[in-house]
Structure 1
Amino acid sequence: MKRISSLFFSSLLVLMLILSGCAGKEQKTEKQTGNQATSVEKISDNILDEMEGPPKNGHTIERHVGKSEEDLKNRLKTDKVSAASTYYDKETATKAVKDSLKQHDKEIQDWLKNSKEARLVLNTTHSFPVGKTVIKKNMSVKDKLVKTVTVLARDKSGELGFKIITSYPSDK
């Protein structure tokens, strides 16, 4: 009788776990930072469009996507920068930005949770070429760059807790 009773209660417990959804499924959790849940899985393929211009004030697409060598050289004549760079295209820029955020996920979470700094600069090396740059010093072109710089700023109004100010290929 004890064995039947024990078997009945075990079966009942398993049935309750299955019906409540607590058994047989992996529970997905997200890291919490204050009121915000941040996760690289939340980053959409439209991240650059979402961050571009007002109200986020990002300028990755405007200044660093799909530019010709002539565009880059003209920028060097007018802006006080030592180099001007471009992603090959928007698809590559998006892939690189998402890769940067993924590679630096722990650093981003730590910055959001523990740092008082308003901005975070991510220097990333990718496994694929992302773009090219023109160096002002000698107007030389370096192509097939695999490094990027991505600048984040805190954004409490956003779902991620940050916004992307800019991202660009780098030879450093």
Structure 2
Amino acid sequence: MKKMNTIAKQLLQAITIVCMADIIIALQACNPKQDNDQTAENGNLRWLDDSIAALAPSALQAIEKGMNEADDSTTYYEYMLRKARFYSLTEHPERADTPIDSIKTFVTQQDNGYYATNGTCLSPRLNSLMAGAKACQAARYMSNHCDPRRIVALNHETYNLLLKPINDTELRTII
């Protein structure tokens, strides 16, 4: 009984972390210093997020279109993250695994491997990407009834990525 309460408590913490991560991602998307193109792109991504939540049939086509029209690699992988989220909500959640792995590989290869050494990225967008991939992976594990400790650990990593700022000293050593 005590073990069951501990698992339930860990799952509740995991769900809380995922919700907080979604709020932080939304707040980062609302940054008022962005130019018009970036604001329009964020609007497209927010529309996609709503469409994905509703499993709208047009969402997957819009994601593919966004990936094909992306101006840079990071934007491409932001759309790929939506693809992973979409698949994780369908009856074939295993299809999310390939996009999740691709996103994680992309992020770890940026900034001369900074993420592998420091557990965070130089760019908030890259941190958001990795956090989103880890949150998706945690959701996949939860749907497969995997080890709750691993789910909580992934959600904890997601939370830390979204909240960990880069200090100036770290930035100067890279530049």
Interval of TM-score (by shorter of Structure 1 and Structure 2): under 0.3
TM-score after normalising by structure 2 = 0.27
Which of the two has greater strand per residue? 1
TM-score after normalising by structure 1 = 0.27
Which of the two has greater helix per residue? 2
Structure 1 or 2, whichever has the larger Rg, is 1
